[in-house]
């Protein structure tokens, strides 16, 4: 009976500890800012309903523009997809090319937005950020951790909306074991996987 009580007590302690760690992590790491504005190198598709010659994929050039049929060069860097839809729609009407165009913009790649993964990973460097990317996704895309990685000490550094840089250390092992929730990343995050101390 006593051993059963001890087991229950220990289980509650571990559960409470995990919850406390998760609360501390959530409190100390600012919520991700999921900006979807486009920049140089980003790839997106414009579809104009019923107009095949106007429906294409476009890559934002280094000067922030695309060359759109009938409309020449358009400045799109710094705009949200919805704003690009509105811009193309307005210009097609103003130039009397279409009366009521139906324009849709879908982003294929955010090459202008990066996440850095450094330290004890197989392929350290910059990764293209994608909406919904999490910590485990980024480490996996970096080839996974090396044999000398310390999975219990992974540092995430993030620029908060206040302009302040915040760093927290998390356990990748706890996340992959299901003890902690995975962490949603924002463009610009830096992830450093520490090495084990021998």
Same domain? For 129 and 80 the reply is no
The answer to whether 93 and 71 are in contact (CB under 8 A) is no
Same domain? For 83 and 133 the reply is no
* Token representation of residue 192: 């450093």
Same domain? For 150 and 74 the reply is no
CATH of the domain at 164: 3.10.560.10
Same domain? For 124 and 193 the reply is yes
- Digit-coded pLDDT (tens) for 63-74: 999 999 889 899
Task: Locate all alpha helices (DSSP H) within the chain, ordered by sequence.
Answer: 2-28, 81-94, 135-141, 172-176
Split at pLDDT 50, 70, 90, the class of 116 is very high
Same domain? For 132 and 152 the reply is yes
CA distances from 26 to 1, 2, 21 (A): 38, 36, 9
The answer to whether position 33 is within a domain reads no
Q: What is the percent of the chain where pLDDT is above 90?
A: 70
The answer to whether position 10 is within a domain reads no
| End-of-domain residue from the set 54, 82, 109 | 109
Specify the pLDDT at position 146. 96
Weakest mean pLDDT among 31-35, 57-61, 190-194: 31-35
Same domain? For 117 and 158 the reply is yes
The answer to whether position 1 is within a domain reads no
CATH of the domain at 65: 3.30.1950.10
The answer to whether 109 and 36 are in contact (CB under 8 A) is no
Split at pLDDT 50, 70, 90, the class of 162 is confident
Q: Which domain holds residue 160?
A: 113-198
Same domain? For 132 and 189 the reply is yes
Contacts of 160 (CB under 8 A, 6+ apart): 30, 166
- Digit-coded pLDDT (tens) for 15-47: 444 444 444 454 488 888 878 899 999 999 999
Whether 168 has a pLDDT exceeding 60, the answer reads yes
The answer to whether 136 and 117 are in contact (CB under 8 A) is no
Same domain? For 104 and 123 the reply is no
Of the candidates 187, 45, 27, the one whose C-alpha atom is nearest the C-alpha of residue 112 is 187
Whether 11 has a pLDDT exceeding 50, the answer reads no
Q: pTM of whole model > 0.85? A: no
Query: Which whole number is the average pLDDT over 127-148?
Result: 94
Specify the pLDDT at position 5. 41
Mean pLDDT, rounded, of the chain = 86
Q: Is the dihedral of CA 16, 20, 22, 26 positive or negative?
A: positive
Same domain? For 117 and 167 the reply is yes
| End-of-domain residue from the set 109, 125, 146 | 109
How many domains are contained in the chain? 2
Specify the pLDDT at position 12. 44
Strand, helix or coil at 175? helix
The edge-to-edge listing of strands for the beta sheet with 43-48 is 56-59, 43-48, 103-109
Same domain? For 94 and 123 the reply is no
């Amino acid at each position: 009976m006593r051993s059963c009580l001890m087991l229950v007590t220990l289980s509650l302690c571990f559960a409470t500890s995990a919850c406390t760690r998760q609360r501390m992590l959530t409190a100390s790491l600012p919520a991700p800012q999921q900006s979807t504005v486009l920049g140089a190198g980003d790839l997106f598709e414009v579809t104009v309903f019923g107009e095949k010659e106007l429906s294409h994929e476009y890559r934002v050039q280094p000067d922030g523009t695309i060359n759109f049929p009938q409309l020449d060069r358009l400045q799109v860097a710094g705009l949200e997809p919805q704003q690009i839809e509105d811009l193309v729609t307005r210009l097609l009407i103003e130039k009397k090319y279409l009366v009521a165009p139906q324009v849709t913009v879908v982003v294929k790649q955010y090459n202008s937005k990066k996440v850095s993964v450094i330290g004890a990973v197989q392929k350290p460097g910059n990764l293209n950020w994608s909406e919904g990317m999490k910590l485990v996704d980024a480490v996996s895309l970096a080839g996974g951790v090396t044999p000398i990685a310390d999975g219990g000490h992974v540092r995430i550094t993030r620029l908060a909306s206040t302009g302040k840089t915040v760093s927290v250390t998390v356990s990748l092992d706890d996340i992959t074991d299901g003890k902690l929730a995975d962490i949603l990343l924002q463009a610009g995050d830096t992830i450093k996987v520490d090495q084990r101390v021998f």
